[in-house]
Amino acid sequence: MELLFSVISIVAYFFGYPTVAGVVGIVATILFILLYSKLEKSYTAFVPWLVISVLLNVLFINYKPNFVLSIGIVSSMSIWLTSVLVWIFHSITNK
């Protein structure tokens, strides 16, 4: 579910709706945190997500349109990117 919200947020941002993207991104972030905090080793999901979020926020978004919405936008991008990286890593290691 958080992946769906993150994709909606990314699409909204690239089509020029940063406010919608930020709000949907915040919802995706809350869902991501609620879902992955129940894991036994939750740091394996949170650490890559946090690193990618900080890098994207500093290098790409630069707090546009404001700080709170940029956190939502960047979090949704990093949720998607982290999920793709974990999927690739999982498919490589389980062959």
Nearest to 74 by CA among 36, 15, 29: 29
Place of tokens 């999927």: 87
Give pTM, 2 decimals. Answer: 0.83
| Torsion, Cα of 76, 79, 85, 91 (10° steps) | -120
Cβ within 8 Å of residue 90, ≥6 positions away: none
Q: Which residues of the chain have pLDDT under 50?
A: none
Q: What is the pLDDT of residue 6?
A: 92
**Rounded CA gap, 63 and 45, in Å?**
24
Q: What is the pLDDT of residue 61?
A: 65
Q: What is the pLDDT of residue 15?
A: 94
DSSP H stretches of helix in 2-42: 2-14, 18-36
